[in-house]
Amino acid sequence: MDKKLNIKIKPIGLLDIIAFTKMVKKRTSIINAANTKPISPSNVNINALLLHPKKQIMKIVEVIAETPKVKTFVLKMVNDTLPAFFRAGQYVSLKLKIGDSIFTRPYSLSSSPNDSKRGVYTITIKGADDGFFSKWALDNWKEGDIVEVSSPEGNFYYEPLRDSKFVTGICGGSGVTPFLSMAKAIAEGNEDFNLTLLYGSCKECDILFKNEFDRLEKAANGKIKVVYVLSDEKLANYENGFITADLIKKYSKNSPYSVFICGPQVMYNFVSKELSTLNIPHKYIRRELFGEVKRIEMVNGYPVEHLNKFYQLKVNYFGGNTQIIANSNDSILVSLEKSGIKAPSKCRSGECGFCRSKLVSGNVFIVPDGDGRRAADKKLGFIHICSSYPISDLEIELPK
Ligand code: FES
């Protein structure tokens, strides 16, 4: 990103900007001048707050060991209210405080939307998914512990106006969790689409929720089919190898069909190439966010001469500023968290904009697949610090 921003504003655009800066003042004066006062709080605002609470304080009420490295955590609100309703496939961001440092990680909800009406969320964490956070949670979280959970977020859900009624899901590892939620929602009658899931694992023992999927396939009257694909084992009744274009074609009989993908970064890279040979319209391919990039040097276009460097990072925040040393291998967000600086985040993939910050000076590398900034933000020098990596000394301004 260039240090100097070259912004051309046409005269009409300038008038728009002036009008925009006066908008709040103008609206406030109109509201104050009105005879009738606004309804406060309005039903719309009450419902919005129920669906999008700033945070949900929940208690772990059960821990289920799925495999030696995978656990499901069952959560309930501490105050016995219901957690926010969600769309099957969405995620929540969990917050962890260790010493002075605060970490957040997004996890897909594996429970169904109906479960939230019964007061329950479940999330499933796999040890190797994102290193430190998942390992700490698996080793330490137990029944009775309190966890701060965000409102449900994300766009990885079935939308009848946009998606085909026939969805081919492709997943690997713990990327199966949003599909488990979707399968439950289909079986419970909350979602109306056909799901064929190609579920990749190394070996049979790595498959998660097989019994649950067997039950859901029966309950859904032919609307759910799960195909298990093993890369390191040849067994009867399982596909062998990787999820190739041929395999996708073999099990996607109806046309058009949508493809939903959720899994580790290497799986995205492989499946994206396979899909490119099938000429599926762009709008029918949906990818769940893959979270933080684990090895930035593996990302196309990263200037590798900056790897393993340390840069000065000046951070301006509401009410002060501080200076830290940032490792170039870490995103700016991770560097802040390691230094105990609170920075907002949810998706950690560059999409939600929750960590949007101003780049005052310096240069960053932005992960191309994680550049979810608006066009105006690109021009005005804002970055999403979860998908931006320092390649020089920097000064940034965190959101209030
Ligand atoms: S946390 Fe979502 S864009 Fe950074």
pTM of the model: 0.84
Q: With cut-offs at 50, 70 and 90, classify the pLDDT of residue 300.
A: confident
Strands (DSSP E) contained in the chain are: 56-67, 70-77, 91-98, 101-108, 121-126, 146-149, 166-172, 194-201, 224-230, 239-240, 258-262, 285-287, 310-317, 320-327, 356-361, 364-366, 382-384, 388-390, 394-397
Q: Does position 259 have pLDDT exceeding 60, yes or no?
A: yes
**Ligand 1 atom with the shortest distance to the CA of 353:** 3
pLDDT above 70 for 386: yes
CATH of the domain at 219: 3.40.50.80
Give yes or no for residue 354 CB within 6 A of ligand 1.
yes
Q: How many domains does the chain have?
A: 3
Q: Are residues 175 and 135 in the same domain?
A: no
Q: What is the pLDDT of residue 1?
A: 44
Question: Which atom of ligand 1 is nearest to 348's Cα?
Answer: 1
Distance 34 CA to ligand 1 centre (A): 39
- State which residues form the domain around 276: 166-287
pLDDT at 6: 52
Assigned domain for 24 exists: no
Q: Residue with structure tokens 């029966």?
A: 218
Boundary (domain end) residue, out of 257, 287, 317: 287
Mind listing the pLDDT tens digit for each residue in 105-160?
A: 899 999 999 999 999 999 999 886 556 788 889 999 999 999 999 999 999 999 99
Same domain, 104 and 194: no
pLDDT tens figures, 51-87: 889 899 999 999 999 998 899 999 999 998 999 999 9
Which of residues 255, 287, 319 is at a domain's end? 287
Q: Does 44 map to a domain?
A: no
Atom of ligand 1 nearest to the CA of 372: 3
The pLDDT value recorded for residue 119 is: 96
Our answer on whether the CB atom of 346 is closer than 6 Å to any ligand 1 atom is yes
pLDDT > 90 in the chain, percent: 68
Tell me whether residue 4 is in a domain.
no
Q: Among candidates 53, 48, 57, 52, which has minimal Cα distance to 79?
A: 57
How large is the average pLDDT for residues 34-58? Answer: 84
The string of pLDDT tens digits covering residues 338-382 is 888 888 898 999 999 999 999 999 999 999 988 999 999 999 999
Q: Is residue 210 part of a domain?
A: yes
Rounded to whole angstroms, the Cα distance separating 47 from 290 reads 30
Residues 110 and 69 grouped into a single domain: yes
- Judged against a pLDDT cut of 70, whether residue 172 lies above it is answered with yes
Mean pLDDT in the chain?
A: 91
Q: How far is the CA of 40 from the centre of ligand 1 (A)?
A: 31
Q: Residue 130: CB within 6 Å of ligand 1?
A: no
Residues 130 and 196 in one domain: no
CATH code of residue 96: 2.40.30.10
- 280 touches ligand 1 (CB under 6 Å): no
Write out the two tokens for 93. 């961001």
Separation of CA 214 and ligand 1 centre (Å): 36
Residue 21 lies inside a defined structural domain of this protein: no
For residues 247 and 316, membership in a common domain is answered with: no
